[in-house]
Amino acid sequence: MRDLGVGFGFLVQGQRWVARHGKQYGFGLIPGLITLVLYVAALGSLILWGGDLVAWATPFADDWSSPWQGIFRGFLTVVLFALALLLAVLTFTAVTLLIGQPFYESLSESVDRDVSVDGTAPESGLPLWRDLWVSARDSVRVLARAGLWSLLLFGLGFVPVVGQTVIPVLGLFVTGFFLTEELTSVALQRRGIELRARLTLLRTRKTLVWGFGTPLALAFLLPVVAVFLMPGAVAGATLMTRHLLEEENEQDDDETETADDETRANTV
């Protein structure tokens, strides 16, 4: 439970950091606004023509009598929009990070410089096009995993009682984990840490990750809120990344000292 509070604390610290650095916050809003316009247009189109799409996909129901045809196709239209909304929540961060890679890279570096002792920040050393390629490739791989979870949870949502109580909560935790992975990838990729190692690192501290990502996933259900929280979320994810790596380094040092002590004892 303590880790849940610590994770949420990093989210709050990130929002406070951007509140003190107005210029960085302003630049960080631009990618989210662009993504919001694209998603609103896509979801708006689905609202307008979703019924026609469902009718086209279910020609076998053309001869059904009223009201069964309307109930069936209306239900499928609602399900289609709900699935699209879930995918929008899951992909919003990835798309925004891809569009805003230069913006968030600069923001994350500024956070690192601000809190580091020597005022420096790790750099990937890669050209911009290479950073964009790595980010896009990893985002597709993460979204594939998130998509499989979405389909599983979507199917379980039809289970009576459990589907209306447990599954939505579980969905928030799953979404929170993948949101955190996408947000921490800005700082971790800059440190040359590959996707598999990033996932392993986050899985070792799931409670901390959930404390950070689950409240964010809940807030991101409202796209407008997501836009304004995104810069602070990147800043908070950078702070959490530093915390996780420092803990990992301390653990490695402790294991090395223990191994050295055992070696000396065996030698004696």
User: Rounded CA gap, 74 and 57, in Å?
Assistant: 13
What is the per-residue pLDDT across 203-243, written as a single tens digit (0 to 9) for each? 989 999 999 999 998 888 776 788 899 899 999 999 999 99
Domain assignment present for 259: no
What is the per-residue pLDDT across 104-134, written as a single tens digit (0 to 9) for each? 888 999 999 999 888 888 877 777 777 777 8
Q: Are 209 and 8 in contact (CB under 8 A)?
A: no
Domain assignment present for 268: no
User: Rounded CA gap, 91 and 35, in Å?
Assistant: 10
Total-model pTM: 0.77
Q: Residue ranges of the chain with pLDDT lower than 50? A: none
Domain assignment present for 256: no
Domain assignment present for 142: yes
Q: Are 143 and 90 in contact (CB under 8 A)?
A: yes
Task: Report residue 39 as tokens.
Answer: 């998603």
Domain residue limits at 65: 2-249
Q: What pLDDT does 222 receive? A: 76
User: Rounded CA gap, 213 and 204, in Å?
Assistant: 15
Burial class (CB in 10 A: 0-12, 13-18, 19+), 164: exposed
Domains: count for the chain: 1
Q: Are 132 and 101 in contact (CB under 8 A)?
A: yes
Domain assignment present for 160: yes
Domain assignment present for 67: yes
Give the residue ranges of DSSP H helices in the chain: 2-20, 22-57, 68-99, 101-115, 128-156, 162-190, 195-203, 206-219, 223-267
Closest alpha carbon to 152 in 165, 170, 140, 179: 170
Domain assignment present for 260: no
Domain assignment present for 84: yes
- The residue written with tokens 């929002």 in the block is 15
